């Protein structure tokens, strides 16, 4: 029951920050539309921000599990990887796709952590970049658990990654849809990020003590 209260408290406390992040996403979308930025630029930015998002998610998820639980290094690796890859993919790729298609936006479906093509301008294979980011986050989170800054960065990066997913893989007249984009960005970030950073690792924790997570 205490963990459920904690999760509800975190969701409530992170809503204003997520709204702020979604607002910055709208500003970026307006700039993209007005400047007629090529989709390759948005794609390259997505595949830059998404791996960083994965890294921070893995770091925080692993840190929360390490601070709250007494599992083995292998369980920390599994929880850190699944909590970051699956939920970051849900936030940055799957939810934007579902939200976009729900209002008849032409969206390309993709799963970054298994894609074998290379990132535009960067030249690194997408699956290698994303999975390497997860591995680095798990390593840092296990060796030096910390939750203070990464979660705040996680929320902003997730917002911008979701935004560039819309810009890179969606075809639409975006300006009249900005209110939908704002709502979609909020939904794509708010629940998945808190699930990844807080609820998911706590499901596997073996002990209860004062909550270590502070932004």
Query: How do residues 17-68 score in pLDDT, each as one tens digit?
Result: 788 889 999 999 999 999 999 999 999 999 999 999 999 889 888 888 888 7
Query: Does residue 123 belong to any structural domain of this protein?
Result: yes
pLDDT of 157 higher than 90: no
d(CA 212, CA 215) in angstroms, rounded, equals 10
Residue range(s) defining the domain that contains residue 110: 40-203
Query: Does residue 209 belong to any structural domain of this protein?
Result: no
Please tell me the number of Cα atoms within 13 Å of 191 on its side-chain side.
Answer: 6
Query: Does residue 9 belong to any structural domain of this protein?
Result: no
125 has which bridge partners? 118
Residue carrying structure tokens 């939810």: 95
pLDDT in tens, 167-184: 999 999 999 999 999 999
d(CA 14, CA 188) in angstroms, rounded, equals 13
Residues 113 and 91: beta-carbon distance below 8 Å:
no
d(CA 81, CA 55) in angstroms, rounded, equals 10
pLDDT in tens, 175-214: 999 999 999 999 888 877 666 666 677 677 665 555 444 4
pTM summary value: 0.86
pLDDT: which is higher, 179 or 8:
179
Query: Does residue 7 belong to any structural domain of this protein?
Result: no
Please tell me the number of Cα atoms within 13 Å of 137 on its side-chain side.
Answer: 34
pLDDT in tens, 81-135: 998 999 899 999 999 999 999 999 999 999 999 999 999 888 899 999 999 999 9
Looking at the structure of the chain, the number of domains it has is 1
Task: Report the largest interatomic distance among the alpha carbons of the chain, rounded to a whole angstrom.
Answer: 52
pLDDT of 3 higher than 70: no
Query: Does residue 30 belong to any structural domain of this protein?
Result: no
d(CA 94, CA 194) in angstroms, rounded, equals 17
Query: Does residue 28 belong to any structural domain of this protein?
Result: no
Residues 186 and 11: beta-carbon distance below 8 Å:
no
Residues 55 and 136: beta-carbon distance below 8 Å:
yes
Q: Give me the pLDDT at residue 215, please.
A: 40
Query: Does residue 5 belong to any structural domain of this protein?
Result: no
Query: 164-175 b/e with 16+ CB inside 10 Å = b?
Result: bbbbbbbebebe
Q: Give me the pLDDT at residue 214, please.
A: 44
Query: Does residue 114 belong to any structural domain of this protein?
Result: yes
Count of beta carbons in the 10 Å neighbourhood of residue 209: 8
107 has which bridge partners? 170
């Amino acid at each position: 029951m205490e963990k459920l209260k904690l999760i509800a408290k975190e969701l409530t406390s992170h809503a204003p920050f997520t709204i702020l992040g979604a607002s910055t996403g709208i500003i970026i979308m307006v700039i993209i539309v007005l400047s007629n930025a090529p989709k390759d630029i948005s794609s390259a930015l997505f595949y830059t921000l998404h791996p960083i998002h994965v890294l921070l998610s893995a770091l925080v998820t692993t840190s929360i599990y390490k601070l709250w639980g007494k599992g083995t290094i292998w369980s920390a690796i599994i929880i850190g990887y699944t909590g970051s890859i699956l939920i970051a993919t849900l936030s940055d790729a799957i939810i934007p796709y579902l939200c976009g298609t729900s209002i008849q936006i032409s969206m390309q479906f993709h799963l970054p952590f298994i894609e074998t093509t290379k990132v535009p301008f960067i030249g690194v294979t997408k699956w290698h970049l994303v999975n390497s980011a997860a591995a680095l986050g798990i390593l840092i989170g296990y060796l030096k658990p910390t939750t203070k800054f990464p979660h705040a960065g996680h929320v902003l990066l997730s917002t911008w990654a979701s935004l560039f997913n819309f810009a890179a893989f969606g075809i639409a007249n975006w300006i009249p849809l900005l209110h939908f984009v704002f709502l979609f960005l909020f939904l794509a970030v708010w629940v998945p990020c808190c699930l990844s950073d807080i609820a998911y690792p706590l499901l596997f924790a073996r002990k209860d003590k004062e909550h270590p997570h502070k932004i």
